[in-house]
């Protein structure tokens, strides 16, 4: 979602596996797009990408994100997220956009969730 490439479900090919994932289905899809738009707006204010903002947010919580990427420019953007300083006001705004516990749909379908060992 944070890449900004997906705005409607029709942006995914008919055979894309993500169509089976709950967060890409209703009622979650529209809600997730709204969350992304709010994050994109905040990222634009800070002159960073929405992915960088999300990574900086995770880092600010003391976690080490391990984002996957296929292109060098995205690796460089991901590294750049470690240099983004988020103020207390920034963190509060992010928490208001996506409060802890916000339901965004499962990452995998029910069968795949059953295979996870956690």
CA 98 – CA 80 distance, rounded (Å): 23
Q: At what angle do helices 88-97 and 50-60 cross, to 10 degrees?
A: 110
Core vs surface per residue 24-40: b (16+ CB within 10 A) or e: beeebbeebeebbeebb
Residues of the chain with pLDDT > 90, as a percent, come to: 58
pLDDT of residue 31: 92
What tens digit of pLDDT does each residue of 56-90 get?
Answer: 999 999 998 988 888 999 899 999 999 999 999 99
In this prediction, residues 81-100 reach a mean pLDDT of 94
CA 38 – CA 95 distance, rounded (Å): 12
pLDDT of residue 86: 96
pLDDT of residue 118: 64
Helix (H, G, I), strand (E, B) or coil at 75: helix
Which residue did the predictor score with more confidence, 41 or 106?
Answer: 41
Model confidence at 27: pLDDT above 80: yes
Q: Is the pTM of this model over 0.85?
A: no
Helix (H, G, I), strand (E, B) or coil at 24: helix
Burial (CB count within 10 angstroms: exposed 0-12, middle 13-18, buried 19+), residue 51: buried
CA angle 36, 42, 43 (to 5 degrees): 85
């Amino acid at each position: 979602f944070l890449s900004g490439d997906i705005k409607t479900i029709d942006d995914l090919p008919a055979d894309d596996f993500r169509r089976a994932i709950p967060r890409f289905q209703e009622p979650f899809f529209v809600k997730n797009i709204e969350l992304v738009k709010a994050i994109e707006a905040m990222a634009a204010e800070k002159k960073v990408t929405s992915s960088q903002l999300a990574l900086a947010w995770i880092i600010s919580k003391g976690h080490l994100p391990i984002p996957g990427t296929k292109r060098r420019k995205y690796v460089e953007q991901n590294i750049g997220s470690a240099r983004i300083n988020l103020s207390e006001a920034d963190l509060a705004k992010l928490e208001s956009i996506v409060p802890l516990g916000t339901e965004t749909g499962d990452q995998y379908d029910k069968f795949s969730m059953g295979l996870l060992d956690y």
